[in-house]
Each structure stands twice: as C-alpha cells, then as structure tokens.
C-alpha cells in the first residue's frame, strides 16, 4: 500500500485528491493547520473523515519542525504540497504571510526531505498566476512563456516553483511542478469568482438577494474542474522522470461571460443584477489566461470529464439544493 501525504488536505484540491488516492488504495495522510473552530475546517473531508481521521496531523508550512515530525512519522512515498494562502486579492493584504506559507513553506518541506534523506516524490501546486501578463504570440501560455508575476501570491508561487526545480537539479529529488490554471467545483472557496457568481445568482433566483457586487469583469480565465486536475497531480508523480507541466483546458472565458452563462442558465439577465464594486478590484490585474497542454499531452492521456458548461451546471445544482 502506497502512502501519500497531502499538505492542504482540507482545501478544495486536497479533498478531491484524498478521495482519488483512497480509491486507488493509498494510505492517505494529511496536515491540518490549527483553527479555533475545527468543525468548519474539515467540512470538505467530512465524508472521508472516518477513514482518515487517525492520519491527520497538526502542522503549518511556516513551522519546519512540525513538517519534520510528520514526514518522519509517515514516511510517505508521495508528498502533494497543496497548502497555501491561495487567494490572489488577499495576498495584497497579507503579502508577508503569503510568501512565508508558500515560498518559505515549500523550502521548509524540501529541506525536510533533503536532510532526512527521505525518498518521497514531491508534487508542487504551481500556478498559471506565475505568468502574469506574458502571453505567447499565439495567445497561449506554456512552460516556456516568460514568468512575470503581478501579485505577491504569484511571486511566492514563482519562488516555490524555482526551489522545486533547484532541488530536483541539485539533489536529484523527484520533484514535479504542475502549473495548473484555474480549477473550480462546488467545493471552491466561496470568495473565488466562480463560486461567488454561482452562489450570488442562486440567491437572487431564490429571492434571498437582489444584487451581486464584483470587481473586474473583463479579465479572462481558463477554467477547468478540480476533480479532473487532481488526477493529473497523481499522474505527474507516476512518470519515470519529474518535470514541469502546464495543465489547462485551452479555452478561456471572461468573468462577464461567466456571469452571463450562469444567470442565463437560471433564466435571468446578469446586467440587471451585477454591479462593479471597487473593493473587489486588485492593485494589479492578470488580464488573460489560456494554457497550452501540448507538453502534458505528450506524457499522459489527457481526458477531462467536465466541460466549462457541465462544471457550471454542477455548481448551480449544488447551491440550488444547499441554499
């Protein structure tokens, strides 16, 4: 039985990845950051909690000793480093913590693996945010596109990305970067734009709200489904050699289009309800994202179960029932 350790196991991706690995008969372990209300924190993993409850450990990416203790205890075959302060807008409010949790946190983990001589393979949750506003002439971002981050979050992710490459090349660690473009689901944090729009539209439909305040409607994103993307994380650690790979759908939509699609599916016109609130604008914006998966498709079979439409349908159905 293979052992996996997931940092950020209670996050959107961590919860889907834990399910995926349990289905593959992995012994799944995870770290949880201490929270004053632990009940809320395990909401996304409640359904698998009975199976993994003895494999959850309090640790923090900023606390190397806690990571050392967990890695020594679990001795994982695979480590999935998903823990992060993952909100781009919040990273402007908490830049130092964001850098600590992501940049120094990844270095803490790499040092633990190096110094203990652990043979764990490492997956690093890198991000399309690292590209900033660089776009190749064909309109896509790919592994070779220059990385020019435009937020503290993206700067921190770029540091972590480079550390993974550095430790791979310097010490021969099996360390892989998945450069994942935005991926969503009903489990997405409710302050990210997809779930915020779906929840807002469902509330308006049900008469629970009248309007929805958003920031920039003109940026475009390449939105996939988290369930499809966690499978790729695992596949990257099953390759013969570690590398850095873009994972995306290759299609992009604007935030405005996302509003239009969601409200239309609910029989409404977004223009009658959505307004712009400067509170949700960012000091700097990443305007357009669209990923090219040619390199990834060269090493694995790329089959996504979800499309943009079926993903929105799933999110709408979830919130229509829940609210």
Instruction: Give the residue numbers annotated as catalytic, written as ranges.
Output: 127, 129, 153
Question: Are 122 and 109 spatial neighbours (Cβ–Cβ below 8 Å)?
Answer: yes
By CB under 6 A, residue 35 contacts ligand NAP = yes
| Residue 254 interacting partner from ligand F7E, ligand NAP, none (CB closer than 5 to 8 Å by kind) | none
Question: Are 286 and 133 spatial neighbours (Cβ–Cβ below 8 Å)?
Answer: yes
By CB under 6 A, residue 221 contacts ligand F7E = yes
The Cα–Cα gap between 12 and 80 comes to 13
Contact range with ligand NAP by CB under 6 A, out of 3-11, 48-56, 114-122, 195-203: 3-11
Q: What is the DSSP code string of 139-165?
A: S-B-TTS--B--SHHHHHHHHHHHHHH
Restricted to residues 6-65, the positions that interact with ligand F7E (CB under 6 A) are none
Letters for 243-282 (x = contact with ligand F7E by CB under 6 A, - = none) are ------------x------------------------x-x
The secondary structure of residue 119, as a DSSP letter, is -
β-sheet bridge partners, residue 158: none
Of 231, 220, 195, give the one whose Cα is nearest residue 304: 231
Q: Residues in contact with ligand NAP, total (CB under 6 A)? A: 27
- Enumerate residues 6+ apart whose C-beta is below 8 A from 307: none
By CB under 6 A, residue 86 contacts ligand NAP = yes
Angle ∠(289,12,187) on CA atoms, nearest 5: 95
In terms of CB distance, is 18 or 214 closer to ligand F7E? Answer: 214
| Residue 69 interacting partner from ligand NAP, ligand F7E, none (CB closer than 5 to 8 Å by kind) | none
The Cα–Cα gap between 237 and 251 comes to 26
- Enumerate residues 6+ apart whose C-beta is below 8 A from 77: 2, 3, 4, 119, 120, 121
Q: Residues in contact with ligand F7E, total (CB under 6 A)? A: 21
Please identify which residue in 83, 110, 292, 316 interacts with ligand NAP, judged by CB under 6 A: 83
In terms of CB distance, is 56 or 204 closer to ligand NAP? Answer: 56
Q: Token digits for 14?
A: 């961590």
In terms of CB distance, is 100 or 285 closer to ligand F7E? Answer: 285
Please identify which residue in 214, 246, 247, 316 interacts with ligand F7E, judged by CB under 6 A: 214
Restricted to residues 154-213, the positions that interact with ligand F7E (CB under 6 A) are 181-182, 191-193, 196
User: CA-CA-CA-CA torsion for 291, 297, 299, 300, nearest 10 degrees?
Assistant: 110
Phi, psi of 233 (to 5 degrees): -55, -45
By CB under 6 A, residue 216 contacts ligand F7E = yes
Restricted to residues 271-310, the positions that interact with ligand NAP (CB under 6 A) are none
Question: Are 160 and 189 spatial neighbours (Cβ–Cβ below 8 Å)?
Answer: no
| Residue 6 interacting partner from ligand NAP, ligand F7E, none (CB closer than 5 to 8 Å by kind) | none
Interface residues toward ligand F7E, by CB under 6 A? 86, 88-89, 127-129, 181-182, 191-193, 196, 214-216, 219, 221, 255, 280, 282, 285
Interface residues toward ligand NAP, by CB under 6 A? 7-8, 10-14, 31, 33, 35, 41, 60-62, 82-86, 101, 105, 125, 127, 180, 182-183, 189
């Amino acid at each position: 039985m293979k052992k996996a350790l997931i940092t950020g196991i209670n996050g959107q991706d961590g919860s889907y990845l834990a399910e995926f690995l349990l289905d593959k008969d992995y012994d799944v372990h995870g770290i949880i950051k201490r929270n004053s209300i632990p009940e809320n924190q395990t909401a996304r993993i409640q359904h698998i909690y009975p199976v993994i409850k003895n494999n959850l450990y309090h640790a923090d990416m900023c606390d190397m000793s806690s990571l050392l203790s967990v890695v020594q205890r679990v001795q994982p075959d695979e480590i999935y480093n998903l823990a992060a302060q993952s909100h781009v807008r919040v990273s402007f409010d908490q830049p130092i913590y964001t850098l600590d949790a992501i940049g120094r946190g990844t270095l803490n983990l790499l040092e633990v693996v190096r110094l203990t001589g652990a043979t764990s393979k490492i997956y690093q949750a890198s991000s399309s945010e690292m590209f900033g506003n660089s776009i190749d002439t064909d309109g896509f971002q790919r592994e070779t596109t220059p990385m020019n981050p435009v937020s503290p979050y993206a700067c921190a992710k770029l540091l972590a990305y480079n550390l993974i490459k550095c430790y791979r090349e310097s010490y021969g660690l099996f360390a892989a970067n998945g450069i994942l473009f935005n991926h969503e689901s009903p489990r997405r944090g409710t302050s990210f734009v997809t779930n915020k729009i779906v929840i807002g539209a469902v509330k308006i439909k049900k008469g629970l709200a009248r309007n929805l305040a958003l920031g920039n409607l003109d940026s475009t994103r390449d939105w996939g489904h988290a369930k499809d993307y966690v499978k790729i994380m695992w596949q990257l650690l099953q390759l013969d050699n570690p590398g850095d790979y873009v994972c995306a759908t290759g299609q992009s939509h604007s935030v405005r289009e996302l509003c239009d699609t969601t409200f239309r599916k609910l029989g409404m016109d977004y223009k009658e309800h959505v307004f712009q609130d400067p509170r949700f604008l960012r000091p700097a914006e990443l305007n357009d994202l669209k990923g090219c998966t040619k390199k990834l498709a060269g090493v694995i079979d790329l089959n996504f179960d979800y499309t943009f439409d079926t993903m929105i349908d799933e999110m709408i159905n979830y919130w229509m029932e829940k609210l």
